[in-house]
Amino acid sequence: MAITKIPAAGFSDAVNFRNIIINGDMSIAQRATSTASITGSGYHTLDRFYTSMGTAGTWTQSQSTTVPSGQGFAKSLKMDCTTANGSLSSGSSLAIQQPIEGQNLQYLKKGTSSAESLTVSFWVRSNKTGTYIVELYDGDNARQSSQSYTISSADTWEKKTLTYNGDTTGTLGNDNGNSLSLNFWLVAGTNFTSGTLQTSFTSNTNANRAVGQVNLADSTSNEWYITGVQLEAGTSASDFEFLPYDVNLNRCLRYFYNLIDRPGGDSEGYFAAGYMYSGDRLYFQIPFFVEMRATPTMSAASGTDYYTFYRDSAGDNFNEILTTQLRKNYAMLRAADSHISGTAGQAGGVHTTSNSKVTFSAEL
């Protein structure tokens, strides 16, 4: 009996994971849904989207519900200028980037005569019309290619599609390092605009990277939205590849894991089982749901009685968490304060207060 393949409702019957970009629908924001007073580089809100920035005003970045109508998107990334910079320095820059592991890109055959072209598609909106630049940057070989797009109508969602030639020079590392990044330029000083826009892959010259880019930082009225970011092999764009929320989240957890984040008085809760190794030494282990890209770094808020170990009908408060051992699939942690006291072998639960925050990062 013949078996007919029936695609799941809402999903295209096409190659799975053709979209190289993770979280292109902007649905995952583990760090925050809004961050104000941004003046420097970092991961601020949406997972996998890095803000590269220098002397380009002050910004609020947020996960917005403003989206193109009827396209299936629920969230977008919004950049809102809150302090303008109308006189850029030569080195001023602002770009929204996604760095990509080389081992996920080997099928592109970059650096060979069979190198694949790449096409990026996305929905974008801004009050500031004009020319914007999208760049592919090969960090393994210091090569880049840039394409321009035009926002034609203010405050109107527009879909853009850009194609980049296959690069026959410079193979990408088959490892977990940052090999290729997709960069959406928003601000560029003359260091990046004084040459000729390089529209095919070649050795990097900074002056050729963002020629023609408008200055989105020149007014506090300026804002920019993006969603539906897709990067795929080939010379044409397919429909956006929507993934189930849990699949999208698991892909993000490879790079960042928000174990506890309860700022502003959110409810308290248990987050680990612990045991007393000795009378004054508490250990507890955190298994990661997804193996992280590399051995992560931990960030943990500290303060008076931020954490409590409940055991044997009693509770001991402590101020700080320290790492004992970090691996790609777990973290062994311990309480940092000597006032933890108990009996060796006692087990219990580690509890947070409203100010607690513990995260693990293995970002590129």
Same domain, 244 and 121: yes
With the C-alpha atoms ordered 282, 287, 291, 292, is the resulting torsion angle positive or negative? negative
pLDDT digits over 108-159, tens only?
999 999 999 999 999 999 999 999 999 999 999 999 999 999 999 999 999 9
| 80 within domain boundaries | yes
Same domain, 102 and 152: yes
Same domain, 245 and 284: no
What domain range is 59 assigned to?
A: 34-253
Q: Which residues pair with 323 in a beta bridge?
A: 333
Q: Which residues are within 8 A (CB) of 323 and not within 5 positions of it... i.e. 6 or more apart? A: 298, 331, 332, 333, 334
Same domain, 303 and 248: no
Same domain, 64 and 126: yes
Same domain, 175 and 48: yes
Q: How many helices (H) and strands (E) does the chain have?
A: 1, 22
| 3 within domain boundaries | no
Among 228, 253, 278, where does a domain finish? 253
Whether residue 21 contacts residue 182, with contact meaning beta carbons closer than 8 Å, is answered with: yes
Same domain, 345 and 307: yes
Q: How many domains does the chain have?
A: 2
Angle at 192 between CA 191 and CA 198, to 5 degrees: 140
Residues in the chain: 364
Q: Which residues are within 8 A (CB) of 339 and not within 5 positions of it... i.e. 6 or more apart? A: 316, 317, 318
Largest CA distance in the chain: 71
pLDDT digits over 151-200, tens only?
999 999 999 999 999 999 999 999 999 999 999 999 999 999 999 999 99
- What mean pLDDT value characterizes the chain? 93
Same domain, 144 and 205: yes
- At 159, list the tokens: 């879909």
Same domain, 216 and 346: no
**Residue 354 above 90 pLDDT?**
no
